Amino acid sequence: MPEYKRKIGDRGQVTIPKELRDRRGIEGGDEIEFVEVNDEIILKPPTDEERLAEGYRKRAERSRELADEMEEASSEATGHLGDAPGWSE
């Protein structure tokens, strides 16, 4: 994981590296949460409804992809091995 160092300005301002902003979808004007945990300060982009919904959409799509893969693997195994004796649905 790359580390980034920045100097803090006289008024406490710091620039978040562009690579991190791009990866996290942070844009000018967005609000950031500052969370203090033990000896660290964690910056968190806010979780708005659209970002949350996008995360759920991606997870649902991945779940469908996995289900399709499992169905294909199950069908292939049944084709090679046949139905298990005594198996009933």
Single-letter amino acid, residue 27: E
Give the contacts of 42 (CB within 8 A, at least 6 positions apart): 34, 35, 36
Regarding whether 69 and 29 lie in a shared domain, the answer is no
Q: Residue 64: inside a domain, yes or no?
A: yes
Give me the half-sphere count of Cα atoms (radius 13 Å) on the Cβ side of residue 11.
2
User: What pLDDT digit, counting tens, does each position of 20-74 carry?
Assistant: 988 888 888 888 889 999 999 998 877 777 777 887 888 899 999 998 888 888 8
Coil, strand or helix at 42: strand
The boundaries of the domain holding residue 67 are 47-79
What is the total count of domains within the chain? 2
Single-letter amino acid, residue 21: R
Regarding whether 30 and 9 lie in a shared domain, the answer is yes
Tokens representing 44? 């968190």
Asked if pLDDT for residue 75 goes beyond 90, the answer is no
Nearest alpha carbon to residue 58 among 48, 46, 70, 66: 66
Task: DSSP letter for 33, please.
Answer: E
